[in-house]
C-alpha cells in the first residue's frame, strides 16, 4: 500500500471538484499515492455510477486504480461540493472551461466553484486550479474567494495555486504519475510547500518542478497547446504540398523529426486536430490577444489551416467516389485520437455530417467511442457497427479517421471480399499502400504521391 501523506502529523485530505477526464484521473492517482481523496461532481448520474465503480470515461488503467482506492476507502465520491471542501486541506478545481460564442474561455464554472469553496471554508485551504484558463484567472479566483469571505464576514485563510494539467487522453494515468514537468503558479511559501508534498512522488522521480507566478503558469499551458497545434497545422500544409509535387510526407516528416531542434512528435499529417482542448484553447488565446491589444497571427493561421484540413477529407472522398448520393461510406474511428472515447470536436464529426448532407449512407465503427458518439449526436442517421469488417460490408469507400491499433492490421483479402467498391482513404497513413494496391484497392493516403 502507498505510504500515506501527512500534513502536520495527520493524513492529508484532498478534494477534487469535477469528475471529468482531468478530475477523475487527478483524484484516482492522488488517492493511489496515499492521500484521502473526495471527488465531487454536480452530475448526479456520473457520481452514482462512480460509487458503483461504473466509469463515465474510457481511460486505460483508470478503472483498476479507482476500484483499488475505493476498496481501501482512500477515494470517495459525492455530489456535494460543500462536503468535499470541508473535508479537505487542499481543493483541486477541475471543471470545464468551454468555448463561448465569441471563442473566449467560459470561466463561469470555475467562478461558481470558487464561490462554493469560499462558502465552505472551515480553516486554511489550498485552492488549486487545474482547469485551462486565460492569464489572470487565478487572480480573479483569489478576488472572488476574498469577496465572498468578506460578505460572509469570515476570516479563514486560503492560498490560490495555478497548476495547469498537461495529461494526454489515452495516456492520462501514465502522464499524471510521470509528467514531463509540473508547473505551479504561487504567491506564498506555504502554498508551494504543500504543492511539493502533493507531488512528492513525482519530485522524487526527478521530474522538473517549476514554481512561478500565476500569469506565467497560466500562459505556459496555452502556449504549449498553441505550439503543438501549430506543428500539426504546419505538417498538414506540407503534406498538402507534397501531394501536389509528388513528394512523400512520411519521409519528409521523418527526416524533419531527426533534427533535435524540431523533434519527431506531432509531425504526422491527418484530418486536422480536434478534442476538447486544442480547438478551444487556441480560440481562447486569440480572444486573450484581443483583450490585451495584440493579434497572435500564428495562432489564427493555425486555426484557419485546421478548418481547411477538416474540409479536405470530404473533398478527397468526393473525388474518390465521384458523387456521394446513394453511396455507402464507412468511417473507421470517431474519437479524435486513439485510446480515448472522447469525441469532442473530433474531425470525424464534420466528415460524417458532410457525407450525410451529400446523400451518402454512413456506417461507422470505433473500438471505444461509439456510445459517447451516439449520445452526443443521436440525431444523425447512421449505421453503428460492432466491428471493423462489419462496417465495411457493401462499402463504396472506407475512410480511416482515427489511428486505432486494430485498424493497422486490417486483412485486405477479407476486406476485398466484402466491400462493394475497393477504395480506401487513409487519413492517418497507417496502412501499407503497396499491400492495399496489391489486394486491388484504390488507396489514397495523405501527403503521399500525386492526387
Ligand X SMILES: NC(=O)c1ccc[n+]([C@@H]2O[C@H](COP(=O)([O-])OP(=O)(O)OC[C@H]3O[C@@H](n4cnc5c(N)ncnc54)[C@H](O)[C@@H]3O)[C@@H](O)[C@H]2O)c1
Q: Which stretch binds ligand X (CB under 6 A): 16-24, 190-198, 262-270, 416-424?
A: 16-24
d(CA 135, CA 127): 17
Max CA distance (Å), the chain: 77
d(CA 221, CA 277): 11
d(CA 93, CA 106): 14
- 23 is a contact residue toward ligand X (CB under 6 A): yes
Min CB(90)–ligand X separation in Å? 16
Residue closer to ligand X, measured from CB, 20 or 445 = 20
Interface residue with ligand X among 277, 286, 369, 398 (CB under 6 A) is: 277
Residue closer to ligand X, measured from CB, 243 or 281 = 281
Q: Which stretch binds ligand X (CB under 6 A): 89-97, 382-390, 393-401, 414-422?
A: 89-97
Min CB(150)–ligand X separation in Å? 22
> Cβ-closest residue to ligand X?
20
Cβ atoms of 276 and 345 within 8 Å: the answer is yes
For residues 28-47, which are near ligand X according to CB under 6 A? 40-43, 46
Which residues are tagged catalytic? 277
Min CB(212)–ligand X separation in Å? 18
Residue closer to ligand X, measured from CB, 20 or 269 = 20
Interface residue with ligand X among 15, 20, 129, 368 (CB under 6 A) is: 20
Min CB(110)–ligand X separation in Å? 8
- 421 is a contact residue toward ligand X (CB under 6 A): no
d(CA 447, CA 240): 6
Find where cell 473566449 sits. Answer: 104
- 448 is a contact residue toward ligand X (CB under 6 A): no
d(CA 343, CA 337): 9
DSSP 80-141: -HHHHHHH-SEEEE-----B-TTS-B--HHHHHHHHHHHHT--S-EEEEE-S---TTHHHHH
For residues 90-149, which are near ligand X according to CB under 6 A? 94-97, 109, 112-113, 131-132
Q: Please name every residue paired with 16 in a beta bridge, in sequence order, or none if there are none.
A: 39, 92
Coil, helix or strand at residue 385: coil
Residue closer to ligand X, measured from CB, 81 or 230 = 81
Q: Where are the alpha helices (DSSP H) in 358-419?
A: 370-376, 388-392, 405-408, 412-418
Coil, helix or strand at residue 442: strand
- 17 is a contact residue toward ligand X (CB under 6 A): yes
Q: With contacts defined by CB under 6 A, how many residues of the chain interact with ligand X?
A: 27
- Which are the contacts of 238, defined by CB distance < 8 A and separation ≥ 6? 249, 252, 253, 269, 447
Min CB(41)–ligand X separation in Å? 4
Phi-psi region of 170 (alpha: psi -120 to 50; beta: other; left: phi over 0): left
Residue closer to ligand X, measured from CB, 162 or 328 = 162
Min CB(239)–ligand X separation in Å? 25
**Cα separations in angstroms, 95 against 129, 171, 373, 408:** 9, 20, 21, 35
Interface residue with ligand X among 5, 15, 18, 201 (CB under 6 A) is: 18
Min CB(134)–ligand X separation in Å? 11
Residue closer to ligand X, measured from CB, 223 or 238 = 223
Min CB(276)–ligand X separation in Å? 5
Interface residue with ligand X among 13, 163, 276, 328 (CB under 6 A) is: 276
Cβ atoms of 321 and 423 within 8 Å: the answer is yes
Show the binding pattern over residues 152-191: x = contacts ligand X (CB under 6 A), - = does not: -------------x-x-x----------------------
Residue closer to ligand X, measured from CB, 97 or 202 = 97
Coil, helix or strand at residue 304: helix
Distance of CA 140 to the CA centre of its chain: 25
Q: Which residues bind ligand X (CB under 6 A)?
A: 17-23, 40-43, 46, 81, 94-97, 109, 112-113, 131-132, 165, 167, 169, 276-277
Amino acid at each position: 500500500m502507498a505510504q500515506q501523506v501527512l500534513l502536520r502529523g495527520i493524513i492529508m485530505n484532498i478534494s477534487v471538484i469535477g469528475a471529468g477526464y482531468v478530475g477523475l484521473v487527478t483524484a484516482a492517482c492522488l488517492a493511489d499515492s496515499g492521500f484521502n481523496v473526495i471527488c465531487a461532481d454536480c452530475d448526479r448520474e456520473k457520481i452514482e455510477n462512480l460509487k458503483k465503480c461504473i466509469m463515465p470515461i474510457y481511460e486505460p488503467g483508470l478503472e483498476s486504480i479507482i476500484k483499488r482506492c475505493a476498496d481501501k476507502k482512500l477515494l470517495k465520491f459525492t455530489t456535494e461540493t460543500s462536503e468535499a471542501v470541508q473535508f479537505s486541506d487542499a481543493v483541486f478545481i477541475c471543471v470545464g472551461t468551454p468555448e463561448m460564442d465569441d471563442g473566449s474561455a467560459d470561466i463561469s464554472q470555475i467562478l461558481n466553484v470558487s464561490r462554493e469553496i469560499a462558502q465552505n471554508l472551515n480553516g486554511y485551504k489550498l485552492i488549486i486550479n487545474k482547469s485551462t484558463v486565460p492569464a489572470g484567472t487565478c487572480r480573479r479566483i483569489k478576488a472572488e474567494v476574498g469577496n465572498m469571505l468578506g460578505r460572509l464576514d469570515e476570516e479563514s485563510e486560503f492560498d490560490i495555486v495555478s497548476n495547469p494539467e498537461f495529461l494526454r487522453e489515452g495516456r492520462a494515468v501514465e502522464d499524471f504519475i510521470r509528467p514531463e514537468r509540473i508547473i505551479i503558479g504561487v504567491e506564498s511559501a506555504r502554498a508551494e510547500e504543500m504543492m511539493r508534498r502533493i507531488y512528492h512522488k513525482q519530485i522524487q522521480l526527478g521530474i522538473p518542478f517549476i514554481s512561478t507566478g500565476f500569469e506565467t503558469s497560466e500562459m505556459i499551458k496555452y502556449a504549449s497547446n498553441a505550439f503543438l497545434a501549430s506543428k500539426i497545422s504546419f505538417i498538414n500544409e506540407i503534406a498538402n504540398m507534397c501531394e501536389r509535387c509528388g513528394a512523400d510526407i512520411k519521409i519528409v516528416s521523418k527526416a524533419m523529426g531527426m533534427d533535435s531542434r524540431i523533434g519527431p512528435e506531432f509531425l504526422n499529417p491527418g484530418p486536422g486536430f480536434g478534442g476538447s482542448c486544442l480547438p478551444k484553447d487556441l480560440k481562447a488565446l486569440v480572444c486573450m490577444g484581443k483583450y490585451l491589444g495584440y493579434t497572435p497571427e500564428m495562432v489564427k493561421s493555425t486555426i484557419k489551416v485546421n478548418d481547411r484540413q477538416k474540409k479536405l477529407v470530404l473533398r478527397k472522398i468526393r473525388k474518390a467516389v465521384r458523387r456521394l448520393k446513394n453511396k455507402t461510406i464507412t468511417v473507421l474511428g470517431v474519437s479524435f485520437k486513439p485510446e480515448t472515447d472522447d469525441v469532442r470536436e473530433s474531425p470525424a464529426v464534420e466528415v460524417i455530417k458532410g457525407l450525410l448532407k451529400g446523400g451518402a449512407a454512413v456506417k461507422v465503427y470505433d473500438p471505444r467511442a461509439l456510445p459517447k458518439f451516439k449520445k452526443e449526436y443521436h440525431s444523425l442517421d447512421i449505421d453503428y457497427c460492432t466491428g471493423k469488417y462489419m462496417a465495411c460490408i457493401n462499402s463504396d469507400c472506407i475512410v480511416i479517421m482515427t489511428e486505432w491499433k486494430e485498424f493497422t492490421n486490417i486483412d485486405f483479402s477479407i476486406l476485398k471480399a466484402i466491400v462493394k467498391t475497393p477504395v480506401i482513404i487513409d487519413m492517418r497513413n497507417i496502412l501499407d499502400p503497396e499491400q492495399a494496391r496489391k489486394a486491388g484497392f484504390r488507396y489514397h493516403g495523405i501527403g503521399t504521391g500525386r492526387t
